[in-house]
Amino acid sequence: MNRFSENNVYNTGKVGVIEVICGSMFSGKTEELIRRMKRAQFARQKVEIFKPAMDVRYSVDQVVSHDQNAIPSTSVESSGNILLLSGDIDVVGIDEAQFFDEGLVAVCNQLSNQGIRVIVAGLDMDFKGKPFGPMPALCAIADDVTKVHAICVECGRLAGFSHRLIQNDKLVLLGEKEEYQPLCRECYNRYNR
């Protein structure tokens, strides 16, 4: 259970907080983001969820999990657009944060300093096993970090790595099960020797 998002009731006025959900592909990051956002909606909080405009895998105007759970969203070109579009909001959700520019860190800080709960989901590492985009900095400034894991498709252990199945050195390559698979550290290292 997350200390900030699940157990505290913010009844002493607006208290901003940054929550980060990170992990490999197929670990349930977006599923957890959608769950938290729907709980906030149920509590009659004003919510807005953002995703990078480049992410059109399932929908242009929804954040959709691999399990096809969905929530309406706004696609934006850059992190600065989030500030422009998040007036009078209690909870801001941000999916696929690794694809945003480094300005996302300042945006999340500013929103939380204004008393907004900010929930960010994204890959913590790229397919090369390196920290991805603004995610390391977001983890550093977060009030709460939830690391979720997939299951290694090779051995069944917890998986923290997104192994790319196709030959392509491009850092950003949107994909699904045909392009990526979750692996544990040992299996990932075996594939990438």
| Residues catalogued as catalytic | 96
Cα dihedral angle (108, 82, 57, 138), rounded to 10 degrees? -10
Please check whether residue 86 is in contact with residue 108, taking contact to mean a CB–CB distance below 8 angstroms.
no
* Paired residues of 161 in beta bridges: 183
CA 81/CA 10 separation, integer angstroms: 27
Pairing of strands 17-23, 91-94: unpaired
Q: How many CB atoms lie within 10 A of CB 103?
A: 14
The C-alpha angle with vertex 121 and arms to 89 and 29, in degrees rounded to 5, equals 125
CA 186/CA 139 separation, integer angstroms: 24
